[in-house]
Amino acid sequence: MPPLIQKWNELKDEDKDLFPLLECLSSVATALQSGFLPYCEPVYQRCVTLVQKTLAQAMMYTQHPEQYEAPDKDFMIVALDLLSGLAEGLGGHVEQLVARSNIMTLLFQCMQDSMPEVRQSSFALLGDLTKACFIHVKPCIAEFMPILGTNLNPEFISVCNNATWAIGEICMQMGAEMQPYVQMVLNNLVEIINRPNTPKTLLENTAITIGRLGYVCPQEVAPMLQQFIRPWCTSLRNIRDNEEKDSAFRGICMMIGVNPGGVVQDFIFFCDAVASWVSPKDDLRDMFYKILHGFKDQVGEDNWQQFSEQFPPLLKERLAAFYGV
C-alpha cells in the first residue's frame, strides 16, 4: 500500500494517470475488505471530490459552452467504481464515511447523467450502498425509484442490468414498504424477461429481481404470474444455488400461494426449475414440497401420472427422490 498511496498523493485530480490507479485500488479494497480501513478515509474523500468536480464542470459547460470545456467524465466513472469497491470491501464500515459526505446528493445527479456509462456506475454504487448502509439510502428511495424505473431499458444492457440488480437489493431492504414502487418497475421487468435475444445475465438478474419483488409484495406481483413464469423458470434453472436464487424462489413460491392459477399452464417449467436446486434450505424445500403435492392432489393421481409422463427421465427421478412425487 505505501507506494500506491505515494503515487495517489503525487497525482493531481486532473491527471489521467489516476484512472489505472483508481481501478487498481478498487480491486485492492474489494480484496482486503476491512484490511483497507486504515487507507479508506482519504481515498473515499478524493473519490467524492472527483465526482463533485466533474459534475460542477459539466454544469458550467452546459450553461456557458463558449467559456468552459466539456469535462472528461471518465474521472467520475472511475471514482464511482472505486466507491463501489469500498462499499463492497468495507461493508458496514463505510457507513461513517457516507454519513459525513454528500454522496447521496451527488449520486442522485449521476443517476440522471446523459452518459450511459455514468448511469451504469451510479446504479452499481447504489446497489452496493444499499447492501452496506441502507440507513443512508432509505430516505432517498422516493426520488431514486422513478429514475431506476426509467432506466429499465434493454437498449443500454449494462445500465439496465445494474438498475435491475439495484432494485432487487432495495427490495430486500425495504420489505413490504416496497409496495408503492412495485408498479413503477414491474411492467418493464416483465417486458424485458419476455424479450427475444435478451442477454443471459440480464435475464437472470431480471428474474431474480421479479422474484424478490414478489417475495416482499406477493399480492402486488402475483396477478402477473402467468405473464412471466415460463421465462422466469428457464432463466433461473441454470444458476447455481446462492442467496439471490434463494430469495427469488421464495418469492415465486409466495406468488404461487396467492395466484396458483398463474402457474398451472407452465407447471412443468416450475418442476424443472425446482429440480435445478442442489441443496435448498429446509424451509425452502418445504415450500417446494407443498406446491408440488398441492398440485398433484388437486389434479388427482391419474392426471398427475399423465402429466409426469412428459418429464424427461432425469427430472422425474429427481422429483421422486427429493419430493416424493
In a domain, 147, yes or no: no
Instruction: Looking at the structure, tell me whether residues 110 and 207 fall in a common domain.
Output: no
Grade residue 228 by pLDDT with cuts at 50, 70 and 90.
Answer: very high
Asked if residue 223 lies in contact with residue 259, where contact means CB atoms within 8 angstroms, the answer is yes
Q: Domain total for the chain?
A: 2
In a domain, 167, yes or no: no
pLDDT for position 261:
95
What would the pLDDT profile of 277-310 be if each residue is shown by its tens digit? 999 999 999 999 999 999 999 999 999 999 999 9
What would the pLDDT profile of 238-286 be if each residue is shown by its tens digit? 999 999 999 999 999 999 999 999 999 999 999 999 999 999 999 999 9
Q: Indicate the pTM of the whole model.
A: 0.95
Instruction: Looking at the structure, tell me whether residues 306 and 196 fall in a common domain.
Output: yes
Question: Which of 104, 136, 168 is the endpoint of a domain?
Answer: 136
Grade residue 34 by pLDDT with cuts at 50, 70 and 90.
Answer: very high
In a domain, 92, yes or no: yes
Averaged pLDDT of the chain: 96
Instruction: Looking at the structure, tell me whether residues 131 and 242 fall in a common domain.
Output: no
Question: Which of 136, 164, 196 is the endpoint of a domain?
Answer: 136
Instruction: Looking at the structure, tell me whether residues 46 and 122 fall in a common domain.
Output: yes
pLDDT for position 247:
98
Instruction: Looking at the structure, tell me whether residues 131 and 195 fall in a common domain.
Output: no
pLDDT for position 165:
98
What would the pLDDT profile of 8-33 be if each residue is shown by its tens digit? 999 999 999 999 999 999 999 999 99
Grade residue 217 by pLDDT with cuts at 50, 70 and 90.
Answer: very high
CA 156 to chain CA centroid, nearest Å:
16
In this structure, the number of other CB atoms found within 10 A of the CB of residue 240 comes to: 8
Instruction: Looking at the structure, tell me whether residues 121 and 43 fall in a common domain.
Output: yes
Neighbouring residues of 39: CB distance < 8 A, sequence distance ≥ 6? 1, 5
What would the pLDDT profile of 88-143 be if each residue is shown by its tens digit? 999 999 999 999 999 999 999 999 999 999 999 999 999 999 999 999 999 999 99
Instruction: Looking at the structure, tell me whether residues 278 and 207 fall in a common domain.
Output: yes
pLDDT for position 65:
95
Percent of the chain with pLDDT over 70: 100
Instruction: Looking at the structure, tell me whether residues 195 and 272 fall in a common domain.
Output: yes
In a domain, 217, yes or no: yes
70: domain CATH number is 1.25.10.10
Residue 77 burial class via C-beta count within 10 angstroms: exposed 0-12, middle 13-18, buried 19 and up: buried
Domain encompassing residue 85: 1-136
In a domain, 158, yes or no: no
pLDDT for position 45:
96
Instruction: Looking at the structure, tell me whether residues 223 and 293 fall in a common domain.
Output: yes
Instruction: Looking at the structure, tell me whether residues 121 and 186 fall in a common domain.
Output: no
CA 131 to chain CA centroid, nearest Å:
10
Cell 466533474 maps to which residue?
54
Helices and strands counted in the chain (H then E): 19, 0
pLDDT for position 100:
97
In a domain, 162, yes or no: no
In a domain, 249, yes or no: yes
Question: Which of 136, 161, 187 is the endpoint of a domain?
Answer: 136
Instruction: Looking at the structure, tell me whether residues 34 and 112 fall in a common domain.
Output: yes
Cell 416482499 maps to which residue?
216
In a domain, 125, yes or no: yes
d(CA 91, CA 97): 11
Asked if residue 154 lies in contact with residue 192, where contact means CB atoms within 8 angstroms, the answer is yes
Instruction: Looking at the structure, tell me whether residues 132 and 181 fall in a common domain.
Output: no
Q: Residue 47: name the closest of 2, 72, 84, 93 by CA.
A: 84
pLDDT for position 115:
97
> What integer is the mean pLDDT of 33-42?
94
pLDDT for position 295:
96
